[in-house]
């Protein structure tokens, strides 16, 4: 056993780490999220169903090759706890961990990712400065690590700071995001298959607006993935 590991085990005797899903203690070998939570999180299995409900939700708006989401969003419990820590409690590593777990499950199922580049939905620069990281990009980092596909944070920019979308109805949300995003035309996306990712996909309006910007910038195909779908 090496010294670092010995030291870490020693420190964890006094500062036991806990699971961000259920607040139970983590045992050796577990990281951020306990195995019980990982097993009990409600997964979509969209990667096994090419015509899943998220793909149908995007129909007639943004043509997507694959529509993926790790989890079904529920207002209470584990998922909300995890996402709350990821977004508001300075725990970017939760996004990376969820990306790694999800990408591993996708590969284990025999799905061969056809994507060239992972592009996260961007935050407005002022929000990015305040939070210090983009939670969707952190999810992308985890996916990138397992898929061995690069994640590019500088392709999409958010020009307008949108209001919090939770109080608006569906139509207002559409108008709100349609012209918000801009994509750089770069060699990184021209004629490439992009995996566009977000934290929680609700109406799909944000994903649609980002996707339209990427299409205008010359990508050949778009697939989408979320940590969770509501």
Q: By CB under 5 A, name the binding residues for Zn ion.
A: 19, 21-22, 34, 37
CB neighbour class for 215 (10 Å; exposed up to 12, middle 13-18, buried from 19):
middle
Question: CB within 8 A of 69, min separation 6: which ones?
Answer: 44, 46, 54, 201, 225, 226, 227, 228, 229
Contact 93, 32 (CB under 8 A): yes
Query: How far is the C-alpha of 194 from the C-alpha of 149, rounded, in Å?
Result: 10
- SS3 at position 45: coil
Q: Which is nearer to Zn ion, 37 or 123 (CB)?
A: 37
* Cβ proximity to Zn ion, 77 vs 218, nearer residue: 77
Looking at residue 122, the DSSP 8-state letter turns out to be: P
Q: How far is the CB of 227 from Zn ion (least distance, A)?
A: 16
Q: In the complex with Zn ion, which residue's Cβ is closer, 18 or 45?
A: 18
Cβ contact 227:95 at 8 Å = yes
Q: 22 or 146, CB closer to Zn ion?
A: 22
The Cα 62–Cα 60 span in angstroms is 6
Distances (CA, A) of 137 to 98, 121, 155, 171: 12, 8, 12, 27
Q: Which of 150, 95, 159 is nearest to 122 (CA)?
A: 159
């Amino acid at each position: 056993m090496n010294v670092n590991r010995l030291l870490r085990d020693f420190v964890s005797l006094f500062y036991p780490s806990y699971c961000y899903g259920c607040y139970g203690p983590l045992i050796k070998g577990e990281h951020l999220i306990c195995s019980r939570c990982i097993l009990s999180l409600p997964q979509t299995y969209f990667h096994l169903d090419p015509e899943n409900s998220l793909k149908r939700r995007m129909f007639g708006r943004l043509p997507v090759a694959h529509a993926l989401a790790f989890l079904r969003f529920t207002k209470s419990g584990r998922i909300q706890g995890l996402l709350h820590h990821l977004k508001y409690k300075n725990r970017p590593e939760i996004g990376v961990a969820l990306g790694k777990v999800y990408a591993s499950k996708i590969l284990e199922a025999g799905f061969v990712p056809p994507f060239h580049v992972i592009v996260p939905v961007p935050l407005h620069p002022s929000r990015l400065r305040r939070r210090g990281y983009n939670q969707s990009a952190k999810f992308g980092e985890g996916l990138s690590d397992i898929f061995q596909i690069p994640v590019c944070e500088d392709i999409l920019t958010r020009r307008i700071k949108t209001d919090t979308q939770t109080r608006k109805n569906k139509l207002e949300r559409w108008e709100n995001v349609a012209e918000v995003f801009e994509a750089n035309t770069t060699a990184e996306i021209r004629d490439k298959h992009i995996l566009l990712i977000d934290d929680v996909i609700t109406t799909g309006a944000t994903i649609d607006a980002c996707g339209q910007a990427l299409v205008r910038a010359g990508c050949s195909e778009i697939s989408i993935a979320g940590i969770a779908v509501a």
